Structure 1
Amino acid sequence: MKTKKHGLSIGIERVDNDLFLSLKAIGKLNHQDYEIITPMLESALAEIKQPKIKALIDGTELDGWEPRAAWDDFKIGLKHGNEFEKIAIYGNKNWLKLTAKIGSWFVSGEVEYFDNYESALSRVRT
């Protein structure tokens, strides 16, 4: 039997009202992945007034979303879209470029795609 890995790992760093998220997505994400990650994100944001979120998303091992997981991702964007200042999506798949463009419709900050990790990291750290 072949094992299929999937899920999200998250790093959260807070400095005053700034929140830096680093996310790594692996495999095809499902609803259960978001049931784990969403409370962590909500908890980190709950204690910050007017948070400014900068996020680095590593999608190099992402294979996509199951429909309900895509909906979960969309709901996070709708709820917290005004709190995102910058999102850098690092990947190696052309469809992630389109994901970055679509994502920019739902958040107030900048969303950019990078095929170089250091460039993506530099973008959200400035």
Structure 2
Amino acid sequence: MIQILHNLPDNMVGVELSGEVTKKEYDTIFPEVEKLVKKKNKINYLAVIKTPLSHLTIGVWWDDFKLALKHYSKWERVAIVTDEENISTVANTFDFAYPGDMKTFKVSEFEKAVQWASGTKATVA
């Protein structure tokens, strides 16, 4: 399941992934990113991943790659928030292939991840 996160700084998009995540669900992220690009002309992104790597289908990985490429020069910061060690390892291993700066955080560091991804010191509501 994918849930769009609200109450974040207005210069970022945030999502939470839990349970099994399919390509169809992942497609709901694209319009949020498009709105942000139109509004800010850059992308700061936060993904809270509360599901094992095995619950992300191949379609999700393909869509993630397409999302990264679509506005390649617009990506600024990507924060991956997870306690799933395999996801952190994959994110840290392949961060060179994705545009912008990427950093991983533990779930307990959510506030710190929001601040880093948005480039602000504002607190989350």
TM-score range, shorter chain: 0.7 to 0.9
Q: Aligned pairs, how many?
A: 113
In the alignment, which residue of structure 2 is the partner of 1:66?
57
More helix by share: 2
Choose which of 113, 118, 121 in structure 1 pairs with 2:111.
118
The Cα of 1:48 is off from its aligned counterpart by: 4.1
Counterparts of 1:99 and 1:45 in 2: how far apart (Å)?
A: 26
In the alignment, structure 1 residue 21 sits paired with structure 2 residue 13: yes
Q: Which residues in structure 2 correspond to 1:1-126 (within 5 Å)?
A: 7-11=1-5, 19-42=11-34, 44-45=35-36, 47-48=38-39, 51-59=41-49, 61-64=50-53, 65-101=56-92, 102-107=94-99, 109-115=100-106, 116-126=109-119
* Higher RCO (Cα < 8 Å, 6 or more apart): 2
Identical counterparts, % of pairs:
24
Flag the structure with larger Rg.
1
The alignment's C-alpha RMSD in Å is: 2.3
With normalisation by structure 2, the TM-score equals 0.74
Counterparts of 2:32 and 2:116 in 1: how far apart (Å)?
A: 24
3-state SS of 1:112 partner: strand
CA 35–22 in structure 1, closer or farther in 2 if over 3 Å, else same: closer
Q: Deviations over 1:82-102 (max 9, x none)?
A: 211111111101112223221
Counterparts of 2:95 and 2:67 in 1: how far apart (Å)?
A: 11
Which runs of no fewer than 5 residues in structure 2 stay unpaired?
Answer: 120-125
3-state SS of 1:70 partner: helix
